[in-house]
Structure 1
Amino acid sequence: MPNKSIRSVSVIIIFMVLAIAASLFSIATGAVMVPLRDIAAAVLQHDLPGVNREIIWNIRLPRTLVAMLVGANLAVSGALLQGIMRNPLADPHIIGVSSGAGLFGIFLLVVMPQYDYLLTPAAFIGATLAAFIIYLLSWKDGVNPLRIVLAGVAVSAFLGSGISAMLTFYSDRVQGALLFMVGGLAAKSWPDLSTILPYSLIGLALSMLFSKQMNIMMLGDATARSLGIRVELSRLWITAIATLLAASAVSIAGLLGFVGLIIPHVARLLVGGDYRFLIPSAALLGAAVLTICDTMARIMFSPMELPVGIIMGVLGAPFFLYLLRRRKA
């Protein structure tokens, strides 16, 4: 194995350890501190008596697992979008894909709350439509990275206006949609985990399946075509995978921004641009970072809990401005 590959695998192992440590930190930390031995007893033996078992199994463990999957989905979605659009500023939230999912999700929550079990497929349809419109608007003799961002910002603003209009007409139901708009993981439980898990497994597996094509497409469209890649078809499939991952995350955690922007960049700095290593490293790092941020959101102003979207916004906005300034330079 080449030295670069050994280094990348080592980084992935470090990210895996970090994700496990973040999950233990999340389960152990809160209004009631839970010893690590109790966590091990509850998870491995299922025979832990008393209140700690209830805290672990019914509150913290499912929320932690949901946070890890949401973080992994958004991070990998961002990595895929940045690759196929050849734009380091691409991110499901910034370019409008999450807004499409959010519009359809908010519609279900405030207009037809009795159909809330359809939230994930509705979010996927909304995200797919948004991605298609953005792609259509940015196409002119090929895909231009700047046009993608500008089209995404415009579409995101338009969809945001639709969300605001719905919340205005259904002002009595705003409270139920508020956390969805900010992005949060409060009260997530086992049903939420069972909802996002299949989408995560399918999306992450397909991402790895297309990793070789992603590497070839990063060489440019002309080179990819000369090597037998059907560029537009591959780009369409990869966009669909990224949309599936983003939509499943949005349907559970709401309009959570900047995870798909920050994490792929950090992972790329450490493992390089090879998507065979970038995808698993982004998934693990995304899981770790969102889990840590969610834990901090729970304990920073205890007993009041902040939505994790606020924490990610505080971290992500300066990072976005840094990337924008570096590109202009």
Structure 2
Amino acid sequence: MTRLSFSLTKPWQHLTLVQNYPALVTVVLTVVLVLTIGLSLTQGSVSLTGTEVWQAILRSGSPMQQTIIWELRLPRIIAGVLVGASLGMSGALLQGMLRNSLADAYILGISAGAGLVAIVLITLGLFLTWVPLAAWLGAILVSLLVYTLARTSVGISIERLILGGVAFSFLLFSIQTVFLLFAEEGRVQAALIWLTGSLNGRGWSEVKMSFPYIAIALLLGSTLGKTMNVLSLGDDLAVGLGISLGRSRIWIGAIATLLAASAVSIAGLVGFVGLVVPHGVRLLVGADYRWVLPLSAIAGAWVLTLSDLLARLGAIELPVGAVTSLLGCPLFIVLLYRRSKLAKGF
């Protein structure tokens, strides 16, 4: 019996040991991300060797291989890294701000706002080249409405923020359903692919459009670790330590919204990344948001890069959002199980 108890507790002891070395976790995640990007560059409908990929990057390989790398795979991978990093950090910011481990871009109506605008344009066949920008504006607008409803005389009410986001999400998703029911069959398929989330066809134009916003938001988000740590102690203690709850939550929410909206404008509605990644990162490095925020960005980039690689391996390419859901749902269950065991001192 003693031997069995030791074998069961040993993994959790190792996990606690890893939490003492967040810098090591950072290095490992970064290396894994780089290796996954390298592997992703070699895989596709036309397989390339590492040497051929390197020659194409240096523009010394065959013209066809250079086209494959520079015009197809490289911009798509960079777009995936940006989307994954944005969703990962956005989820960590929202979960920390709301002190709710189930918070992500869906809970504040961000995804619903972007989805409605995109579905309206796609199903009506209007301004299709402007769908990413329109989705970004829709997400920002709905987030502003939700924050307006949540404002009180003393600041932002967490309860009203969550309830307002859920209410707007249900309303906007219902309107999306109506548009899909009356749309032409070909447009419905295009709309469903966008709702599922996909990186297919993403090029340098999407990367150039969103990179400045995402880069600035990621840098600003990485500086919020100390504020997030204080907020996690509770409202009364945070106020006692000189933190303005209303101003802090508006600033955190604005950065999280910008990140999520930018991600949606590139890849559509990709689920589970913003929900699962912060859980996994906190399991690895603890609850110190000075590490959780940047590592959520790195881990999110890796998860989406890996999911997009898996989506392209079959005979038929899958939407990357479907792969993240297939991977994220069981992984989320496992993470919740592990956290419950750790909380009980198993």
Q: Give TM-score, length-normalised by structure 1.
A: 0.87
Question: Structure 1 CA distance, aligned partners of 2:289 and 2:172?
Answer: 31
Shift of residue 25 of structure 1? 1.3
Match of 2:328?
316
Residue 203 (structure 2) pairs with residue 189 (structure 1): yes
Alpha-carbon contact 1:95-1:148 (below 8 Å) kept: yes
Task: Decide which moves more: 285-294 or 96-105.
Answer: 96-105
Residue 177 (structure 2) pairs with residue 136 (structure 1): no
Question: Structure 2 CA distance, aligned partners of 1:114 and 1:132?
Answer: 25
Task: Decide which moves more: 57-66 or 153-162.
Answer: 153-162
Q: Deviations over 1:120-167 (max 9, x none)?
A: 364244344246427836989987877765654443222111111222
Residue 302 (structure 2) pairs with residue 288 (structure 1): yes
Match of 1:52?
65
Shift of residue 27 of structure 1? 0.8
Match of 1:113?
126
Q: Deviations over 1:4-47 (max 9, x none)?
A: 9971111111111111111111111122211112222222x222
1:39-78 alignment, distance < 5 Å: 39-43=53-57, 45-78=58-91
Match of 1:102?
115
Alpha-carbon contact 2:149-2:161 (below 8 Å) kept: no
Question: Structure 1 CA distance, aligned partners of 2:148 and 2:270?
Answer: 22
From 224, 227, 238, the counterpart of 2:238: 224
Alpha-carbon contact 1:93-1:255 (below 8 Å) kept: no
Q: Residues 42, 200 of structure 1: CA spacing in aligned structure 2 closer, same or farther, 3 A cutoff?
A: same
From 316, 319, 341, the counterpart of 1:307: 319
Shift of residue 72 of structure 1? 0.4
Q: Residues 10, 127 of structure 1: CA spacing in aligned structure 2 closer, same or farther, 3 A cutoff?
A: same
Other structure's SS at 1:65 match: helix
Letter in 2 for 1:269: L
Question: Structure 1 CA distance, aligned partners of 2:150 and 2:337?
Answer: 25
Q: Deviations over 1:147-205 (max 9, x none)?
A: 76565444322211111122234335323322111111111111111122112101101
Shift of residue 325 of structure 1? 8.1
From 171, 176, 180, the counterpart of 1:167: 180
Q: Deviations over 1:237-265 (max 9, x none)?
A: 11011011001111111111110001011
Shift of residue 308 of structure 1? 1.0
Match of 2:4?
none
Question: Structure 1 CA distance, aligned partners of 2:284 and 2:93?
Answer: 17
1:6-25 alignment, distance < 5 Å: 7-25=21-39
Q: Residues 52, 88 of structure 1: CA spacing in aligned structure 2 closer, same or farther, 3 A cutoff?
A: same
Task: Decide which moves more: 216-225 or 149-158.
Answer: 149-158
Match of 1:259?
273
Structure 2: runs of 5+ lacking an equivalent: 1-16, 342-346
Residue 190 (structure 2) pairs with residue 176 (structure 1): yes
Aligned residues: 324
Question: Structure 2 CA distance, aligned partners of 1:273 and 1:313?
Answer: 25
Q: Deviations over 1:257-292 (max 9, x none)?
A: 110001011111112222221111111111111111
Question: Structure 2 CA distance, aligned partners of 1:120 and 1:325?
Answer: 39
From 161, 165, 170, the counterpart of 1:157: 170
Alpha-carbon contact 1:82-1:89 (below 8 Å) kept: yes
Shift of residue 320 of structure 1? 5.0
Question: Structure 1 CA distance, aligned partners of 2:230 and 2:289?
Answer: 10
Alpha-carbon contact 1:39-1:56 (below 8 Å) kept: yes
Q: Residues 152, 219 of structure 1: CA spacing in aligned structure 2 closer, same or farther, 3 A cutoff?
A: same
Q: Residues 181, 125 of structure 1: CA spacing in aligned structure 2 closer, same or farther, 3 A cutoff?
A: closer
Between structure 1 and structure 2, the one with the greater Rg is 2
Match of 2:5?
none
Other structure's SS at 2:127 match: helix
Match of 1:272?
286
Task: Decide which moves more: 14-23 or 156-165.
Answer: 156-165
Alpha-carbon contact 2:149-2:164 (below 8 Å) kept: no
Q: Residues 128, 154 of structure 1: CA spacing in aligned structure 2 closer, same or farther, 3 A cutoff?
A: same
Other structure's SS at 1:273 match: coil
Question: Structure 2 CA distance, aligned partners of 1:166 and 1:266?
Answer: 37
Considering only aligned residues, what root-mean-square deviation do their CA atoms show, in Å? 3.0
Task: Decide which moves more: 167-176 or 251-260.
Answer: 167-176
Other structure's SS at 2:312 match: helix
Residue 247 (structure 2) pairs with residue 233 (structure 1): yes
Question: Structure 1 CA distance, aligned partners of 2:128 and 2:27?
Answer: 41
